Amino acid sequence: MKEVVLGIDIGGTFTKYGLVDKNGFIFNEGSLPTDRHAKVIDFITELKTSVHQSLGDNYNIKGVGIGAPNGNYYTGKIESAPNLRWKGVIDLTDLFEEKFGLPVKVTNDANAAALGEMLYGDAVNMKNFIMITLGTGLGSGIVVNGEIVYGHDGFAGEIGHTIVDPEGRNCACGKRGCLETYVSAPGIKRTVFELLATETKESVLRKYSFDALDSKTISEAANNGDEIALKAFEYTGKILGLKLADAVAHTSPEAIFLFGGLSNAGDLIFVPTKKYLDQYLLCIYSGKIKLLPSKLQDKNIAVIGAAALMWKELA
Amino acid sequence: MKEVVLGIDIGGTFTKYGLVDKNGFIFNEGSLPTDRHAKVIDFITELKTSVHQSLGDNYNIKGVGIGAPNGNYYTGKIESAPNLRWKGVIDLTDLFEEKFGLPVKVTNDANAAALGEMLYGDAVNMKNFIMITLGTGLGSGIVVNGEIVYGHDGFAGEIGHTIVDPEGRNCACGKRGCLETYVSAPGIKRTVFELLATETKESVLRKYSFDALDSKTISEAANNGDEIALKAFEYTGKILGLKLADAVAHTSPEAIFLFGGLSNAGDLIFVPTKKYLDQYLLCIYSGKIKLLPSKLQDKNIAVIGAAALMWKELA
């Protein structure tokens, strides 16, 4: 019987899962909506049924690893996640252990992605690196001396909420000017709308409502030479480069990985980010910091990373 | 015979040293100018003579710990320190080991201060904290899981060179708008001069040239109710609070310690810094982060901390 860990990535809209072996290979992937059930226990019941329907008898599940927004490694709980239907503090570990009868470990999704890169990606030989996940928000997992930095309270690594401009854009967190209001899928859209207001240049993006525009459309426009779209990527890379230079001044990583969402735009985002990162870096770090796409870019990294969390415990 | 470590704090102008026992008590302190000798080896020879003149036969020196600007823990070298007379890369460890015939460890001065606080100060029971040293510049030592963060290259913890404003004040490092151009002894002086230019309020500080004004005079003026001086402290605390909130979002410390220089101004700097730190913190950290004066404030923390580096090796 194949030994596997059940990796679960709880997102705001969908939850993905898969069985992951020790080498990071993923089997029996599946998904279900996160927000169908008002009670978290009903969600877990549906998840268990869904997992076992596709399972067969060939697998020996050793444990469950979960990546979730505001998932806390120390407490095993989700605490005040703004984009989940279940409010307050949810004791995920207790609930999953009871339902599955297996050991359970929880962390946030960006930490899970960092673990995935460390165990199965291009950070296998790195002791100090930072994983940046770009999606609806900007998540980060910081690795120092080969360990995820959890900090005093388990909530370390919120680079998306470092402040670009204290009088800047409103953030879902209640503050203003957080990095993720500039660098994320909605962030670059906000930048496009600022540019459409400021500039007089023609642009295909003038045909879209705010609700209709997405970051993929902005990428396509940029690839077709649209000046507004290109300028939006340049600005996004400038802000990201600036705040990554700050991040380097904290933990001096060997590399910074970009994963998901905007990072799929390739050179459009990597070239300006690298340019401004180098410009804003303190000279002792100059030329030392690699800016890389995640090796697990096309894979279900959040599920693999969540499983990696459990595999690390079992090791 | 008393077992001690020789702790050395190499500053731009003066070098201080002392013999430090395992409990952090310091004996036979002394100092000498750092910049008298064109060759570093002549400086080390004078230092050795100076140490041994005051020594007597009662001490068994187990090793040498050195805190120095741009001192690198991994390489044992000083690399490109802008405010030292000796340029390029200096292999301190080799030179001191040869001269003293003792094991030698090197780190930068802020890391040494963090170690001092961890071994002998108020961070004795803390696993995650940040030490900020305020002087001519702003140094930082970051502790995660009970260990100093050195990063990939040994140069982690340069919070003084995170960027407040990429179009802001010129920094000695060659960049613009670094935190230490706002928050340091020269930084608050620059703020005062900006305020004197912008505002029309009367102020005792209008009587000073830029060269003549120092941060102690600004503190005295503030304590006497001078509005420009008070405003300068408020602004300094705002900038520091903002960038410390960013630092918290990286490593989520239990406490941040302020040491030396400006931190001696007490409430003048602590009150606004705490206010703005709380304002700019992501909600999950709210009310959790202690902002404290270093317990070793009045002691020779850099010497004690440098010795602590060696004591940690000997443990």
Write out chain A residues lying below 8 Å of B285, CB-based.
153, 155
Dump the DSSP string for A141-166: EEEETTEE--TTTS----GGGSBS-T
Nearest Cα of chain B lies from the Cα of A253 at a distance, in angstroms, of 5
Report residue B97's pLDDT band, with 50, 70 and 90 as the boundaries.
very high
At B246, phi and psi to the nearest 5? Answer: -60, -45
**Closest partner CB to A282 (pick from B175, B252, B280):** B175
Nearest Cα of chain A lies from the Cα of B40 at a distance, in angstroms, of 21
Question: Are the beta carbons of A250 and B159 separated by less than 8 Å?
Answer: yes
Burial A72-95, CB ≥16 within 10 A → b, else e = bbebbbbbebeebebeeebebbeb
Residue A54 has pLDDT above 80, yes or no: no
Question: Are the beta carbons of A282 and B149 separated by less than 8 Å?
Answer: no
**Closest partner CB to A128 (pick from B152, B242, B246):** B152
Nearest Cα of chain A lies from the Cα of B3 at a distance, in angstroms, of 32
Nearest Cα of chain A lies from the Cα of B21 at a distance, in angstroms, of 29
At A33, phi and psi to the nearest 5? Answer: -65, 140
Q: Greater confidence, A259 or A80?
A: A259
Question: For residue A284, what is the nearest residue in chain B, using CA coordinates?
Answer: B155
Nearest Cα of chain B lies from the Cα of A1 at a distance, in angstroms, of 38
**Closest partner CB to A252 (pick from B155, B166, B285):** B155
Q: Please report the pLDDT score of residue A302 as a whole number.
A: 85
Q: Which of A250, A251, A275 to mutate to test the interface with B (most CBs of B within 10 A)?
A: A250
Q: How far apart are CA A240 and CA B166, in angstroms?
A: 13
Q: Please report the pLDDT score of residue A56 as a whole number.
A: 65
Q: How far apart are CA A5 and CA B37, in angstroms?
A: 63
Question: Are the beta carbons of B151 and A284 separated by less than 8 Å?
Answer: no
Q: Please report the pLDDT score of residue A84 as a whole number.
A: 85
pLDDT tens string B224-277: 999 999 999 999 999 999 999 999 999 999 999 999 889 999 999 999 999 999
Write out chain A residues lying below 8 Å of B153, CB-based.
252, 284-285, 288
Report residue B1's pLDDT band, with 50, 70 and 90 as the boundaries.
confident
Report residue B81's pLDDT band, with 50, 70 and 90 as the boundaries.
confident
Assess whether the region A2-115+299-314 and the region A127-293 belong to the same CATH fold.
Answer: yes
Nearest Cα of chain A lies from the Cα of B179 at a distance, in angstroms, of 10
Q: Please report the pLDDT score of residue B53 as a whole number.
A: 82
Average of per-residue pLDDT values in chain A: 94
pLDDT tens string A109-129: 899 999 999 999 999 999 999
| Token pair for B50 | 């100076």
CB within 8 Å of A33: residues ≥ 6 apart: A13, A14, A15
Residue A57 has pLDDT above 70, yes or no: no
Q: How far apart are CA B261 and CA B264, in angstroms?
A: 6
- Please give the single-letter amino acid code of residue A20: V
Global ipTM: 0.93
**Closest partner CB to A142 (pick from B127, B154, B250):** B250
Q: Which of B107, B152, B176 to mutate to test the interface with A (most CBs of A within 10 A)?
A: B152
Tell which CATH architecture fits domain B2-115+299-314: 2-Layer Sandwich (3.30)
pTM: 0.94
Question: For residue B284, what is the nearest residue in chain A, using CA coordinates?
Answer: A155
Worst-scoring range by mean pLDDT, A83-87, A157-161, B7-11, B160-164? A83-87
Domain ranges of chain A: 2-115+299-314, 127-293
Look-up of token digits 């009310």: B287
Nearest Cα of chain B lies from the Cα of A95 at a distance, in angstroms, of 23
A84-88, A137-141, B29-33, B205-209: which is most confident: B205-209
Question: For residue B158, what is the nearest residue in chain A, using CA coordinates?
Answer: A249
Q: How far apart are CA A238 and CA A243, in angstroms?
A: 9
Q: Please report the pLDDT score of residue B261 as a whole number.
A: 84
pLDDT tens string B20-33: 999 999 988 899 99
CATH number of the domain at A127-293, please? 3.30.420.40
Q: Please report the pLDDT score of residue B56 as a whole number.
A: 65
Question: Are the beta carbons of A249 and B161 separated by less than 8 Å?
Answer: yes
Q: Which of B73, B78, B107, B252 to mutate to test the interface with A (most CBs of A within 10 A)?
A: B252
Q: CATH 3.30.420.40: does it fit domain B126-293?
A: yes
Question: Are the beta carbons of A156 and B288 separated by less than 8 Å?
Answer: no
Question: Are the beta carbons of A151 and B144 separated by less than 8 Å?
Answer: yes
Question: Are the beta carbons of A147 and B145 separated by less than 8 Å?
Answer: yes
% of chain B with per-residue pLDDT over 70:
99
| Sequence-separated contacts (24+) of B45-48 with Cβ below 8 Å | B45/B99, B47/B8, B47/B15, B47/B17, B48/B99, B48/B100
Question: For residue A253, what is the nearest residue in chain B, using CA coordinates?
Answer: B152
Question: Are the beta carbons of B151 and A144 separated by less than 8 Å?
Answer: yes
Question: For residue B71, what is the nearest residue in chain A, using CA coordinates?
Answer: A284
Write out chain B residues lying below 8 Å of A143, CB-based.
none
| Token pair for A279 | 């410009």
**Closest partner CB to A282 (pick from B144, B151, B173):** B173
Q: How far apart are CA B267 and CA B275, in angstroms?
A: 11
Question: For residue B279, what is the nearest residue in chain A, using CA coordinates?
Answer: A175
pLDDT tens string B168-205: 999 988 999 999 999 999 999 999 999 999 999 999 99
CB within 8 Å of B93: residues ≥ 6 apart: B76, B77, B104, B105, B106
Nearest Cα of chain B lies from the Cα of A288 at a distance, in angstroms, of 9
